[in-house]
Amino acid sequence: MAHSTGQILNNRYRIVSLIAQGGFGAIYRAWDMNLNSPVALKENLSSTTASLRQFTFEAQLLAKLKHENLPYVIDHFILPDQGQYLVMEFVEGKDLQAILEERSSPFSEAEARDWLSQVSSAVSYLHAQSPPIIHRDIKPANIKITSNGKVMLVDFGIAKVYKPTQHTTVGAKAVTKGYSPPEQYGGGITDARSDIYSLGATLYTLVTGIVPIESVNRHMGVVFLHPREIVPDISTQTEIAILKAMELNPDERYQTADQFCMALSGQGATGRTIKTVSEAPRTIRAQSMSGREPALASVPVDRGPYLHAPGQVIRVPLRKKRGQKITISGALVLMSVCILAILGLGGGLYSLVYLQGYVTPTSTRDLLALTSTELARIIGSAPTTGVPGLTSATPGLQTSTVSRSPTQIPSETPIPAPSDSPTPPPSSTHTPEPRPTWIPCAGTYPSRLNVGDRAFVSTDPPLPNRVRTLPDPESPITGYLDVSEKIEILEGPVCSATWIWWRVRSLEKNLTGWTAEGDAENYWLVPLP
């Protein structure tokens, strides 16, 4: 049950307002009555003995971190039969996603590079801890700009302590559409280089105004528009830094946040060769700043370095600018920030470290194959809306014929030409039944479930799912589905409050009701084979 305004927790923190709420907990703005200051109060509903012990350990670890671009931890406490709570500095200001959505154009390179250099400094600091802390959710929505122009990297969810043998669990809670590298899907191992991919994807969005396609979809040959193909005025230096950071193979990315930071300042950037390969017409999926996918465009292309026709910019519409003004810093400032990061200067923290301990047998390859299949189904059936700058040749589908001339960027390793056919899924004894095609709920991932299916509650992170009387976040809670608990899908889906709802029956206890499969960024229920 959500806490009400004015409610006091732990005899110290008075709830001011609800900032965000999901299936695993909530984040509140609260007032610290002891220190007379605003705080961010993060709720975690998991209450198992193991998770409570892990929560305490990791909260103490986070409290030791001090960096000028990270909010600091103030307190942590546990309320029996309610949840665990992490109290953090409340960062006043707007996040970059909100600012970008208010604008009529992307940010300038100078602004974006300055901000990402500061974020890289914070990320480098996290990676330098022993053991390293991997953020795993770097994106514009988790970067705030304070009133004095300072950048703060915040996160309310899925950071984790790095262990070389710790695999990412199959639940997609740890995946943010467009910003997560392929190893973050399925059973892959994430490390510091996973954050490098997200840094590059974030810069991509800030300078182009659109979210890059999902990394797993690039494996099946879906065209990945390079920054200068969208905004020709972007410098080659910035494009090279973005593309190298976003390499699908972690070994081909920058290996540290410091390397990425120095590349932004023009120091130590490594080039790459882009091969010119003709390919059949493919479907390009553009994403808005919210991470949703508002439009499809079938574009016959020659896969060379640039896809834009002269003067053409393909961009998801942004909202009208409201006069947001932020100071622009130059290359000298960028280099200074990078050098300070390398020297290890800084000071606070941001979030709960990911609670570990659950690994599923599903491999990354299995999940990539599933994702490719689902993507092909959606592309082949979903209705579309227009993208400005593209002309329509087929009702409901935006098309435009453009060409690229071969251009070479000095470099290191040639990029292999993508195959025109998706890699077939690995052999398995399980053959999924055909599923009806339906349009995803507005603002959500497409559902992976159907009536009659069986599923389990995501183990990443290990938090329970609320069960309610109706498919509505305001309806009464009748119980909780525990981590890994198996369920059967009885009815649905229902779209409500930007969540996908299903009526389910627990296979492990007497509990039936409505629960959410996921939202715009996460899957909370995982299909059983």
- What positions carry a catalytic annotation? 137
Closest listed residue to residue 353, CA positions, set 61, 118, 121: 61
CA 64 distance to own-chain centroid: 26
Q: How far is CA 281 from CA 213, 303, 314, 384, 420, in A?
A: 17, 10, 17, 17, 10
CB half-sphere exposure, 527, CA atoms < 13 A: 16
Question: Would you state the structure tokens that stand for residue 240, as one six-digit string?
Answer: 């090279």
Q: Which residues contact 27 (CB under 8 A, 6 or more apart)?
A: 18, 19, 20, 21, 40, 41, 42, 43, 156
CA 9 distance to own-chain centroid: 30
**Separation CA 357–CA 462 (nearest Å):** 8
Pair 381, 373: CB distance under 8 Å:
no
Pair 124, 258: CB distance under 8 Å:
yes
**Separation CA 376–CA 378 (nearest Å):** 5
Pair 126, 133: CB distance under 8 Å:
yes
Secondary structure (3-state) at 151 = strand
Question: Any alpha helices (H) in 344-385, and if so which ranges?
Answer: 364-381
Report strand pairing: 465-468 vs 454-457: unpaired
**Separation CA 526–CA 502 (nearest Å):** 13
Question: Would you state the structure tokens that stand for residue 331, as one six-digit string?
Answer: 């290359």
Secondary structure (3-state) at 89 = strand
Secondary structure (3-state) at 207 = helix
**Separation CA 194–CA 368 (nearest Å):** 17
